[in-house]
Amino acid sequence: MAGQVYSIPAIANASNYYWTVPVGCTITAGQGTRTITVTFANTFVTGTITVVGKNDCGNSSVAATKLISKVTLGTPGTITAPTGFTTNVCSVVSRDTTLTYAITTVTGATNYVWTNPANTTITAGQGTNSIKLKFLAGFAFTAGDSLKVYTTSGCVTSATKSLAIKTILPTAPASITIASVAANVCGARTYRYTAPVLPAGTTGYLWSLPTGAVGSTGSLDSGSLSGRVIVIKYTSNDAVSAVVGLVDSIKVRYTSTCGLGVIKGAKLSNTKLSAPAAPSAIVINALGATNCGEPRYRYIAPAVLPVATTTAGAATGYSWSIRGQWTLGGNAVLDSGDLTSQKIVIRYLNGNVKVAGDSVKLQYSSACGLGSFKALTLSNTATGTAAPAKPASITIAVVDTTICGGRKYRYTAPVLPAATAVFAAPSGYVWTLPTTSIGAVLDSGDLSSKVIVVSYTSNNAAATGDSMYLQYSSACGLSAVKGQKLTNLLKANCLVGSTPVYSRTINTANGYKATVAPNPNNGNFTVRVETGIAAKTNATIQILDMNGRLVSQINTVNNNGLVAANINNNNLNNGIYIVKYTVGNVTNTIKMVVQK
């Protein structure tokens, strides 16, 4: 090290000075003078410097002594770091942040020499017992690469103190929360995955999509692989693998400025999602035949498709099939609808009775595939090809026999019978009206209806040959004819003429039948008088109160034996009135009640 200067005051009468120095010291300048420069070897420990004065007369006694020793610097104390950064500095790597590191003051030290690790820089404090250190991108803990400091004082250097500054990667997240978003949608099962809140020292998340037979069908539906929450949609409807490990698992780890943390894996919660269960029922309706010997049946599936459950996907449609002797393309033909309709009609190319194994089957379709079968034995009975037997009966009922030349009767056919092994099933009716002089005219219904009403212009009783005729229609032709004798009796007291005339009613006053309807009423009513007089005759209808005062009068006529008037009188108050009618020279009355 550089020389150390020592000097003494002048000694009286001395012309020369003689210096001695300890072992390990060398006088490099000033021997013989009052001031010398001494250098020290590293081996120097301690010793005494002495000096005496000299002249021609001799030497003086020792004029001065100086004990000198090498200064010893203690090893610096522990290097301290800011709270929270004693073991891990990941959170400040590559950031505009500095950390202060320091040691306690070392006695005797005049300088502090710091050595910083790679990818760091000392921004302040070099030469002092406290520095500011900045961590640059790429900093990572390497064994032996530590922050170091030693002190110096003159020629003395202290031992070095080190601090290993570490970058510790994040630990694995504590858990992954799995929640079902749409776990029962075939081919689109969706789950939400949530990581914990970021702990200190981490900067984000990194998810890994699952692998495995089920996991590999997943794709990111929402969120990002660097977000806390992600949603994954799976096309597979299977349950996850039972293999222990990270197969069919979702994985996440924390990111940090020092790198990626430890992986946390969670087994997927996907369970098996099956196709829908079998339909609850199939309804069969016999429709008869449009072609002789080829019966038709309607098959009806449940109208409401089942919704998804926790174990089965939602049904999206239907799938029909016919099995056994009636294989489609063989003896059974799709007549209407298609094999994915809710209703189908099948036409069978022969009329055989069903045998064992003949069944109709139905499945629900879904995005999970076809569901279980619902099978129902066919209901086909033997179907003959002969025209139906004739109807068993015709029911006759009176509708109105009061009108001369306009009597009405109702005729009702039996319910259509089913096919038999001999006879084809009837599909409808064919009526034939009497063609005799009884004068039958169709009044309502039509000649193919089950029920018809016939009006007769003749007032005579039914005679020989006056009958109603009925046949069944079918794909195999018309049945034999069922004939039924008419029940018409003679209509007496009818005036002769071509126009229907209302007959007299012999059990009423003057032979007239008079009605007020409705009675009571609210002032709106109909007066009807059946006179039996064919000639047109003037008539009046008067409304009288109970005191005999005229309230209202309507002038009308008798036409073909009938006087009829619709009266609408809102001025009538509640009470009892007399309706007085006069036809020709015949007068009579009816009591009427008005009640509003």
Q: How far apart are CA 103 and CA 53, in angstroms?
A: 49
The per-residue DSSP string of 76-134 comes to P-PPB--TT-SS--GGGTTSS-EEEEE-PPPTT--EEEEEPPTTEEEEE-TBSSEEEEE
What residues does each domain of the chain span? 4-69, 90-163, 177-267, 283-377, 395-485, 509-594
pLDDT at 220: 95
> Contact at 8 Å (CB) between 50 and 89?
no
Would you state the structure tokens that stand for residue 159, as one six-digit string?
A: 């031992």
Round to the nearest angstrom and report the end-to-end CA distance of the chain: 138
pLDDT under 70: residue ranges of the chain: 1-2, 143-144, 155, 244-246, 324-330, 493-511
In a 3-state reduction of DSSP, which class is residue 212?
helix
Q: Which amino acid would we find at residue 28?
A: T
Q: How far apart are CA 247 and CA 236, in angstroms?
A: 15
Instruction: Please give the class, per CATH, of domain 509-594.
Output: mainly beta
464-498, pLDDT tens digit by residue? 889 999 999 998 999 999 999 999 998 876 654 44
- Tokens 């010291």, residue? 25
180-206, pLDDT tens digit by residue? 999 889 889 999 999 999 998 788 999
b or e along 166-175 (b: 16 or more beta carbons within 10 Å of the residue's beta carbon)?
bbebbeebee
Name the residue among 205, 150, 137 with its Cα closest to residue 173.
205
Q: How many alpha carbons lie under 13 Å from residue 338 in its C-beta half-sphere?
A: 2
pLDDT at 497: 44
DSSP 218: E
b or e along 304-328 (b: 16 or more beta carbons within 10 Å of the residue's beta carbon)?
ebbebeeebbbbeebebebebbbee
pLDDT at 506: 41
pLDDT at 451: 97
pTM greater than the 0.95 cutoff: no
